Amino acid sequence: MISAKGLSVAYDKKNVVSNFTMDIKEGEIVSIIGPNGSGKSTLLKVISRLMNASNGVTYLEGNDVHRLPTKEVAKKLAILGQHNHSPSDCTVRDLVAYGRVPHKQWYEFSNYDDNSIVDWAISVTGLQEFEHRCVTTLSGGERQRAWVAMALAQKTKVLILDEPTTYLDVSHQLEVMELLKKINEEYKMTIIMVLHDLNQASKYSDRMYVINKGKLVMQGCPSEVITKKMLRDVYKIDAHISADQVSGKPLFFPLGLLKNKDTKEMKSKIV
Amino acid sequence: MQSQSAKYAQFAVRKRLAKRIGIFIAEISLLVILAVISLRFGSVRFSTGEIINALIDGSDSTIRTIVVNIRMPRTALAILVGASLATSGALLQAVLRNPLASPGLIGVIAGASLSAITIMLLFPALTVLVPFIAFIGGLVSTLLVFTLAWKKGMSIIRIILAGVAVNAMLGGGTSLLSVLYSDRIQGVIMWLNGTLAGKSWDQVKLLLPYVAVGLLVAVLSVNVANSLQLGDEAAKNLGVRLNLARIVLCSTAAFLTGISVAVVGIIGFVGLIVPHVSRLLVGSDYRFMLPSSAILGAVLLVSADIVARTVFSPIELPVGVIMAVLGGPFFLYLLRKVRGYGH
Ligand SMILES: Nc1ncnc2c1ncn2[C@@H]1O[C@H](COP(=O)(O)OP(=O)(O)OP(=O)(O)O)[C@@H](O)[C@H]1O
Ligand SMILES: [Mg+2]
């Protein structure tokens, strides 16, 4: 479905992603994990053609994503960024309806077909009762769902999300994750997302990619990826790992930061 | 419970739509009333009946001449120019996502001024060419802003900064010329403050096709404008080609402003304020906001022109000045009245 070959990305000549390769099959849920600043958002932007790579190619169904007309890409792939803002008087329904823009000629207004798709996106995300509220007046979780609904209204096969659950409380986080799982199962949507919560990533993903300092560290199913060694190498933490009793997927519990040279130095400065 | 909230929601949509339609009807009626007033008032005052009679049977040829040859083209020009400038401002506010964006920002007005003033002060014999040269000057300086802003694409902040820099340079040139030729500046002041005095059907004919094309492009790009309001990345995700959209919308804005300024001189206020008034009234959805801006721009300019030529009649005031003096307080009033705007 989506594959990246040897991607490198630089901001002002400084490489933030180097030689990254991945291959994602149709219908998979894949999460990308890694510490702050490791290049996750940059990677998502490049594979969804929002940014140019300095090297390497991203293929969407076999075609170079940067060579496809941007509107064609918009019908196949939707990306939801880390920060979103809408005009202050934009209602949930208005926002979701914008998801239909790629399917219209630039001069066309919405038609009946659009309305039924917008209705569908609103009901899948459970936003019926907020349909006519302004997006800016919603809670963080409701707002996140509204943006997901907009992406759904695009009717794409691939959905890419950058930290869809950050800023949400536990129940809203689960709500969004369950929603994504449902979309994946019922509509065979391929989902690629960046997550910071490793346990959620483990629970909901088929596969995970670990990125550190712009480089691919490892990839595989959650039980291959969530290991003491990975947490030690990438996150510099000591952790206890067990298995979820129902799914058998790995769960981790942080025990503490590793005492390396840097942390010692920092401490001595503070003292 | 659910059905009650659904009912309420349905009611809310209808209410919003009804409100928008109501506002449109009010805006159009206002424009019609103002156009009639504009035909009636001036150095001589006619009643509506007199005008209608003169138009139908042509009995009173003085009224007919004044209304048809002087006041009608003047009113038509005010409508075209007002609509163009306001639309131009609305387009730029969508592209630059900046509430202070106005047609002046991308250099078109400064460029038109400098070239017009150069002709009027240095080559007075060529004054007939002012509209043409002002138009070219406006477009050239817009092109300069784009070129300076371009670096593997155009970011918003680069357009704004390049615009500010180009405006400062061209403005400096204009000031320099006015100081050097201060003895001749009198004739230029009217142009610099915008005036509809002494305009005829010729100017209307000149303007009409260009304005029609410009407004058509603007109306057809409402989906793009709406997408741009969600931010660059969201717009691109929706399939908008950012650089192309920016160039098309900015050029349309520059074109509409350039052609207006070329014919009637500098009128700054409409393009900045009217889109905000329109947003306050019908909301930020460009499908409604853009047409509403065009109508309100026409309303504002027609009324400012009526005031400009009646209060101190027979002396005419520059319409740009009137607009700033009357429009400013009205805008501040709206800003205070409509809660939640600007948050
Ligand atoms: N526009 C930019 N210009 C220059 N450097 C940038 C820019 N955006 C990101 N960077 C740098 O690139 C690196 C990767 O950034 P990126 O946003 O991809 O990280 P991330 O993995 O998404 O981090 P986070 O978990 O904090 O969201 C960081 O070091 C960041 O400082
Ligand atoms: Mg990020």
Question: Are A26 and A188 in contact, with CB atoms under 8 Å apart?
Answer: yes
Cβ contacts below 8 Å, chain A against chain B, sum to: 82
| Residue B230 with chain A: CB contacts under 8 Å | 84-86, 98
pLDDT band at residue A246 under the 50/70/90 scheme: confident
Question: Are A227 and A239 in contact, with CB atoms under 8 Å apart?
Answer: no
Q: Is A207 in the pocket of ligand 1 (CB under 6 A)?
A: no
Nearest CA distance, B238 vs chain A (angstrom)? 5
Ligand nearest to the CA of A43: 1
In this predicted model, what pLDDT tens digit does every residue of A103-154 receive, in sequence order? 987 667 666 678 889 999 999 888 988 988 999 999 888 888 899 999 999 9
Indicate the burial class of A194 (C-beta count within 10 angstroms; 0-12, 13-18, 19 or more): buried
Residue B6 is predicted with a pLDDT of 59
As a whole number of angstroms, the distance between CA A180 and CA A153 comes to 14
A 168-197 → B contacts, CB under 8 A: none
B239 at interface of A, judged by CB pairs closer than 8 A: yes
Q: Is A36 in the pocket of ligand 1 (CB under 6 A)?
A: yes
| Residue A78 with chain B: CB contacts under 8 Å | 237
Report the nearest-CA residue for atom 18 of ligand 1: A39
Q: Report, as an integer, the average pLDDT of A143-166.
A: 92
Architecture category of domain A2-225 in CATH = 3-Layer(aba) Sandwich (3.40)
B173 at interface of A, judged by CB pairs closer than 8 A: no
Longest dimension (CA), chain A: 67
Residue B129 is predicted with a pLDDT of 86
CB atoms < 10 A from the CB of A130, how many?
24
- Going from the C-alpha of B14 to that of each of A70, A117, B289, the distances in angstroms are 35, 20, 18
Using alpha carbons only, give the angle B280, B286, B290 rounded to the nearest 5 degrees: 75
As a whole number of angstroms, the distance between CA A132 and CA B10 comes to 8
Question: Are B115 and B137 in contact, with CB atoms under 8 Å apart?
Answer: yes
Q: Is the pLDDT of residue A265 over 70?
A: no
Residues with Cβ within 8 Å of B291's Cβ and at least 6 positions away in sequence, in order, are B24, B219
As a whole number of angstroms, the distance between CA B122 and CA B136 comes to 18
Ligand nearest to the CA of A45: 1
Question: Are A23 and A206 in contact, with CB atoms under 8 Å apart?
Answer: no
Radius of gyration (Cα) for chain B, nearest Å?
Answer: 21
Considering only the beta carbons, identify the residue of B9, B238, B283 that sits closest to A101: B238
| Residue B151 with chain A: CB contacts under 8 Å | none
Instruction: Give me the phi and psi of B293, to 5 degrees please.
Output: -60, -45
Type of residue found at A217: V
Buried/exposed code over A145-156 (b: 16+ C-beta within 10 A; e: otherwise):
bbbbbbbbbbbb
CA nearest to B40, candidates B49, B31, B29, B30: B49
Question: Are A201 and A230 in contact, with CB atoms under 8 Å apart?
Answer: no
Domain boundaries of chain B, sorted by first residue: 2-337
Report the nearest-CA residue for atom 26 of ligand 1: A36
Q: Which residue has 């404008």 as its token pair?
A: B225
Q: Is A38 in the pocket of ligand 1 (CB under 6 A)?
A: yes
What's the sign of the alpha-carbon dihedral B269, B272, B278, B281? Answer: negative
Do the Cβ atoms of A101 and B227 come within 8 Å? yes
Assigned token pair, B31: 């424009």
B314 at interface of A, judged by CB pairs closer than 8 A: no
A129 at interface of B, judged by CB pairs closer than 8 A: yes
Report the nearest-CA residue for atom 14 of ligand 1: A39
CA nearest to B305, candidates B101, B110, B75: B75
> What DSSP character marks residue B65?
I
Distance A17 CA to ligand 1 centre (A): 10
Question: Are A194 and A33 in contact, with CB atoms under 8 Å apart?
Answer: yes
Q: Is A18 in the pocket of ligand 1 (CB under 6 A)?
A: no
Ligand nearest to the CA of A16: 1
> What DSSP character marks residue A91?
B
Would you write out chain B's pLDDT as a tens digit for each of its 343 residues?
445 655 666 677 788 888 999 999 999 999 999 999 999 988 788 888 888 887 887 666 788 888 888 899 999 999 999 999 999 999 999 998 887 788 888 999 999 999 989 998 888 888 888 888 988 999 999 999 989 988 877 788 888 899 999 999 999 999 899 888 888 887 788 788 888 888 889 889 989 999 999 999 999 999 899 999 999 999 999 999 998 998 899 999 999 999 998 888 888 788 888 999 999 899 889 999 999 999 999 999 999 999 988 888 778 888 888 887 877 787 788 777 766 665 5
Q: Report, as an integer, the average pLDDT of A209-233.
A: 92
Instruction: Answer yes or no: pTM beyond 0.90.
Output: no
Residue intervals in chain A for CATH 3.40.50.300: 2-225
Q: Is the pLDDT of residue A259 over 80?
A: no
Q: Is the pLDDT of residue A261 over 60?
A: no
Ligand 1 atom showing the smallest separation from residue A43 Cα: 18
Class of the CATH-defined domain B2-337: mainly alpha
CA nearest to B82, candidates B332, B327, B281: B327
Do the Cβ atoms of B285 and A48 come within 8 Å? no
Using alpha carbons only, give the angle B177, B173, B190 rounded to the nearest 5 degrees: 55
Report the nearest-CA residue for atom 3 of ligand 1: A11
Q: ipTM of the assembly?
A: 0.86
Residue A271 is predicted with a pLDDT of 46
To the nearest 10 degrees (0 to 180), the angle between helices B108-122 and B156-180 is 20
B293 at interface of A, judged by CB pairs closer than 8 A: no
Q: Report, as an integer, the average pLDDT of A236-247.
A: 86
Nearest CA distance, A87 vs chain B (angstrom)? 7
Report the nearest-CA residue for atom 17 of ligand 1: A41
CB atoms < 10 A from the CB of B232, how many?
17
Give the three-state DSSP class for A18. strand
Do the Cβ atoms of A102 and B239 come within 8 Å? yes
